[in-house]
Amino acid sequence: MHMKNGIAKVLASAGIIVLLITITQPPGAYAKEEHTALGPQLSERLRTLLREEMNLIQAGMGRALIAIAAGDHQAVYENGRDIYKSFILKQQLTEEDRRELMAVAPVGFIELDGAFHDTAHKLAKAGRDEDSELQAFYFSRLVESCTVCHGRHASDRFPGLSRLGESGSGHHHH
């Protein structure tokens, strides 16, 4: 049991370190990308849908982090799957909503959203495969995607990420 607790502490510490490294990358660490505060340009309906999706994602990521640190592979699988399926924008948009979003959202936003959900799918698979190392890796990629997207497209809500948004591509390589 002590071994599991030690591994959980190491994974939790690693997750925090990855988060801090990702957030504090120097300008130029990522390729240039368009920087647009998206929320103020959206209708109240689309802003509400986006907030609902972000709340579901935030809750799922919190549960996934706890599950990764505890070695609860089934919970990692379930939360990764739920995050992947949280495509509220895709599931609940009317045709008029889609036209509005496409008219306002830069291509980079749609690409980031798709890549984020793809990474959540990979997290779920790592949970199903009981691969703790891949779970930690894909969780860190989810966090990286969040910070890059918030820096680029929601810096009005997350001013601490505005420098990252000016230069973030969502991919950091060592």
Contact in structure between 116 and 149 (CB atoms under 8 Å): yes
Is 60 exceeded by the pLDDT of residue 160?
A: yes
Q: DSSP letter string over 67-102?
A: HHHHT-HHHHHHHHHHHHT--HHHHH--HHHHHHHH
**CA separation for the pair 62, 54 (Å, rounded):** 12
| pLDDT (tens digit per residue) in 4-43 | 554 544 444 444 444 443 333 333 333 344 567 888 888 9
**Mean pLDDT, to the nearest integer, of 95-123?**
89
Q: Say which residue the tokens 């739920």 belong to.
A: 82
- Dmax (CA) for the chain in angstroms is 55
pLDDT of residue 34: 56
Q: What is the mean pLDDT of residues 144-156?
A: 89
The pLDDT assigned to 24 comes to: 38
Query: What pTM does this model have?
Result: 0.71
Q: What is the pLDDT of residue 38?
A: 84
Q: Does residue 47 or residue 93 have the better pLDDT?
A: 47
Structure token digits, residue 92: 């609940």
CA distances from 86 to 45, 60, 79, 171 (A): 17, 10, 10, 22
For the beta carbon of residue 1, count every other beta carbon within 10 angstroms: 5
